[in-house]
Chain A
């Protein structure tokens, strides 16, 4: 069964460093998303991406965040200068058309120290 793949599964970084979280969505999917889940809290929407551009973003997704689809398979989330409060589980999701369910990856646990 096709699945969304995220790497790495766990990343530890120092405050102020840049991190790139990587995702390989399901191959025929066109809509891509990042969500995050701070420990013990609910899953929150960050950004949606379609047709090589951001289609919607939340208040969380400030100038420190960016997304990119550098080739036909990867979808990345970059945090330019990490803060302690960026520590969370980050989930990538994708779907092939509107009004269908999104498939989530296993997540990347980001720990900022």
Chain B
């Protein structure tokens, strides 16, 4: 069965520091992978996605993620965190092909940013 694991429930980083949020997935075929961000009381905003091709994908707000098939990982990175990045981050995997397109989400990682 498909699953997504985000091993870190809560991470605190200092403003200006680098960030890496971990995501591991379990999926039998080539997955589609996504990172979404949710600010308090807000909806889910897509940060970036991987469908195929270059394994390093760039997203909005200076985020990037790298797909590593051998490690079944899709970690999210940002070189310098801003206070406005404080939010909850969700990794998700989607089925390739077909019309269903439902996503399996991880439990999320809450990011706090220290001044």
- Interface on A for B, CB 8 Å cutoff? 6, 31, 33, 35, 41-45, 48, 50, 55-56, 58, 91, 95, 98-99, 101-107
B96 part of interface (Cβ distance < 8 Å): yes
In the complex, which residues of chain B have a beta carbon less than 8 angstroms from the beta carbon of A50?
Answer: 99
Q: B43's closest neighbor in chain A, by CB?
A: A106
Q: Are A98 and B102 in contact (CB under 8 A)?
A: no
Contact of B49 among A33, A41, A101 (CB under 8 A): A101
Q: Are B102 and A91 in contact (CB under 8 A)?
A: no
8 residue pairs bridging A and B, Cβ less than 8 Å apart: A42-B105, A42-B107, A43-B103, A58-B102, A98-B99, A98-B101, A99-B32, A103-B46
Main secondary structure of the interface of A (DSSP, over half): strand
CB-based A-B contact count at 8 angstroms: 61
Main secondary structure of the interface of B (DSSP, over half): loop
B71 to chain A, nearest CB (A): 22
Q: Are A101 and B46 in contact (CB under 8 A)?
A: yes
Interface hits, B23-55 → A, CB 8 Å: 32, 34, 36, 42-46, 49, 51
Q: Are A98 and B107 in contact (CB under 8 A)?
A: no
Q: Are A95 and B44 in contact (CB under 8 A)?
A: no
Contact of A44 among B43, B45, B49, B105 (CB under 8 A): B105
Q: Are B102 and A45 in contact (CB under 8 A)?
A: yes
B87 part of interface (Cβ distance < 8 Å): no
